[in-house]
Amino acid sequence: MTVAWHKQRRPVQVNLTPLIDIVFILIIFVLLAARFDRVQGLSVALPSVAASRSVPSAPLNLQISAEGALTLNDLPVDLEVLGERLLVLKADSKALVVAADRAATVQVVARAFAIAQAVGFEAVTLRTGGASR
* Residue closest to 82 by CA, chosen among 111, 57, 58: 111
Element (H, E) at 72: strand 70-72
Backbone angles phi, psi at 39, to 5 degrees: -75, 125
Burial class (CB in 10 A: 0-12, 13-18, 19+), 103: middle
Q: Are 74 and 104 in contact (CB under 8 A)?
A: no
Band (pLDDT 50/70/90 cuts) for residue 49 is confident
Predicted local distance difference test score (pLDDT) of residue 83: 87
- CATH assignment of the domain containing 78: 3.30.420
Asked, for residue 91, whether it belongs to a domain, the answer is: yes
**What average pLDDT does the segment 79-87 reach?**
88
How far, in Å, CA of 25 to CA of 42, rounded?
Answer: 34
Q: What is the pLDDT of residue 19?
A: 93
Determine, yes or no, domain membership for 95: yes
Is residue 122 one of the residues assigned to a domain? yes
In percent, the amount of the chain with pLDDT more than 70 equals: 80
> Domains in the chain: how many in total?
1
Task: Tell me the residue range of the domain where 92 lies.
Answer: 60-127
> Which helix (H) or strand (E) covers residue 112, if one does?
helix 106-119
In a domain, 121, yes or no: yes
At 8, is the pLDDT very low, low, confident or very high (cuts 50, 70, 90)? confident
Does residue 30 lie in a domain region? no
Q: pLDDT at residue 40 above 60?
A: yes
H or E element that contains 111: helix 106-119
